[in-house]
Amino acid sequence: MVTENVRASEYQISLVIVYSFAVEKKDENGEGLAPLTLINSQRIQLSRSFIYDISRVSAMQKEEQLIRDEMKQEAAYRILHQVQAVSDAHDVSLPEAGSPSPHALLSRTTALAK
């Protein structure tokens, strides 16, 4: 959308994330087994529109970054919610928040923004 004075335009921000989730299983001797894929390739696509007023460039850049950050948070929430659901269904315990684990693998994550 272009206004009469061409000072504001409507922009769309898109975020696409493709991910999968696997856990590393161990046998009774502690030997590593092949990873168990719990989530095959999944895609999350989010879009937001906003009005960009070129007379307020600094404020618009901050607003755009805020929108991008909110989209990333929403995508992360969706991924974590699905990971928790499939982990519960397969009786897989996930590491505590803040403690990295080599047994939980989140792979093939791609984010594209326009």
Residue 104 in any domain: the answer is: no
Return d(Cα 63, Cα 50) in angstroms, integer. 9
The owner of tokens 């607003």 is 63
The alpha carbon of 92 is separated from its chain's Cα centroid by a whole number of angstroms, namely 21
Q: Are 38 and 22 in contact (CB under 8 A)?
A: yes
Q: Identify which has the larger pLDDT, 68 or 53.
A: 68
Does some domain include residue 112?
A: no
Structural domains counted in the chain: 1
DSSP state of 71: H
Q: Is position 108 within any domain? A: no
Residues 18, 106: contact at Cβ < 8 Å?
no
> CB atoms < 10 A from the CB of 114, how many?
9
Domain-located, residue 113: no
Please report the pLDDT score of residue 100 as a whole number: 46
Is residue 99 situated within a structural domain? Answer: no
- Whether 25 is in a domain gets the answer yes
Domain hosting 17: range is: 8-93
104-113: strand order across its sheet: 36-53, 8-23, 104-113
Question: What is the residue-averaged pLDDT of the chain?
Answer: 78
Residue 33 lies in a domain: yes
Q: Is residue 38 part of a domain?
A: yes
Q: What is the pLDDT of residues 6-21, one digit of tens each?
A: 566 888 999 999 999 9
Q: What is the pLDDT of residues 61-99, one digit of tens each?
A: 899 999 999 999 999 999 999 988 998 888 777 666 555
